[in-house]
Structure 1
């Protein structure tokens, strides 16, 4: 049995509300076990006999489509993928008095991540960005995560590419949940 993190994109927008308790039931009915949500924002950890993340992605998206009548894209990560992200996140906040947030922009592929960064504007002097495989690591001053040119770029590309952004604290909690599953 392998564990996976499922990140729903666009949950609770566009007039469709996905309650986390309903999501758990939906995924259990689809045959997954040890299903639990974290932080009520479209983060799921589950166990599966299936070992191909692409097949899990397709099955979860199909179950969501059948239940909600619309496409809700997901990004699926296995334990090793999340481990590489958590251990490889490249930034440590400098001791300069500026409070910062660390984010992870998950994409569907390394090619998507590279294309998103290729079209990105220059970062402000207080923010940093780097690609880590299929993910984009981003550090931005607190309160600026919707205002900088880079933040606006991420929002714009989200309309045409499957991406989802999570705070690194959330990613670390999900990673820990995957490594410490509940029976």
Structure 2
């Protein structure tokens, strides 16, 4: 049995409102066990004896589309992978006044593309570093949405493949 985490993109922001109890029920009804939601931002932990990550991802996305009527996308990880991602955070996660973020993607090439595009941005003090299947981002509090990289990462091109989580949220998922 493997413990997985499904990270939904854009839940409870931008008009897509899902109650976590309903989300938990939907994932359970899709055939997964020991389902738990964490925070109200679309983080779902569950167990499965299946090993076909692409199939699991597709099944959850289909269940979300059917139940909630929106174009659902998730990033799916197993817990050991999530632990490695958290352990590899390259910046000072406890730096006062800064947000430690991790961008995750179902298509890692999109993260490389974002990092390449960011090279032409006037980023000030915010920092980026490509990790194994993720993009680490450290940005001053209050500047997340206004920063050049924040604006880049919010573009429609990345909507179906990427999601962003604060490192503290990822630690809670572990």
Say whether the 8 Å CA contact 1:104–1:136 is kept in structure 2: yes
1:26 aligns with 2:54: no
Deviations 1:47-89 (A, max 9, x none): 0111122111001011111112232101101122212211111
> Does residue 109 of structure 2 align to residue 111 of structure 1?
yes
TM (norm. structure 1) is 0.86
User: How many angstroms apart in 2 are the aligned matches of 1:94 and 1:21?
Assistant: 32
For normalisation by structure 2, the TM-score amounts to 0.90
Contact 1:112 1:134 in 2 (8 A): no
Extract unaligned runs of 5+ from structure 1: 177-183
State the shift of 1:161 in Å: 4.2
Change (3 A) 1:94 1:66: closer
Q: Which residue of 2 aligns with 1:125?
A: 124
What CA distance in whole angstroms lies between the structure 1 residues aligned with 2:17 and 2:94? Answer: 39
Note the 1:73-92 alignment, pairs <5 A: 73-92=73-92
Aligned residues: 173
- Deviations for 1:18-72, whole angstroms, at most 9, x for unmatched residues? 1100011111111111101001110010001111221110010111111122321
Contact 2:12/2:40 (CA < 8 Å) preserved in 1? no
Structure 2 CA distance for partners of 1:94 and 1:48, relative to 1, 3 Å: closer
